[in-house]
């Protein structure tokens, strides 16, 4: 698994609208994408799962990708999809 820690800089966090956008982007990939907060891991393609984490601004989360996605996204620097960072810009 490939793991990246991300600081959520959006003051509102991942509430319904940004979480929906995040999930839509995650669903563009065949591979499994997970979001983890404080040892609790949910499928990044599940709105209920992502919302259940209660991710607020200033929270550090982990985004995990299974090994298969690293090969399909090798054209990105570091092998990590840029869509995962688009929600976390200030």
C-alpha 83/C-alpha 20 separation (Å) is 13
Mean pLDDT of the chain: 77
> DSSP label at 77?
G
Residue 57 forms beta bridges with which residues?
none
Query: Torsions phi, psi of 83, nearest 5?
Result: -60, -25
Instruction: Decide if 8 contacts 14 (C-beta within 8 A).
Output: yes
pLDDT value, residue 40: 96
Closest by CA position to 41, among listed 55, 31, 29: 55
pTM: 0.71
Active site residues: 15
Per-residue pLDDT at 70 exceeds 50:
no
Encode pLDDT of 8-52 as tens digits. 888 888 888 888 988 888 887 777 889 999 999 999 999 999 999
pLDDT value, residue 84: 52
Per-residue pLDDT at 73 exceeds 60:
no
């Amino acid at each position: 698994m490939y793991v990246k820690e991300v600081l959520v800089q959006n003051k509102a966090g991942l509430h319904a609208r940004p979480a929906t956008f995040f999930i839509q982007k995650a669903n563009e990939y065949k591979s499994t994408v997970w979001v983890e907060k404080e040892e609790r891991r949910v499928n990044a393609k599940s709105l209920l799962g992502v919302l259940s984490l209660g991710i607020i601004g200033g929270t550090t989360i982990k985004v995990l990708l299974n090994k298969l996605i690293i090969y399909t996204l090798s054209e990105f620097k570091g092998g990590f999809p840029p869509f995962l960072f688009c929600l976390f810009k200030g």
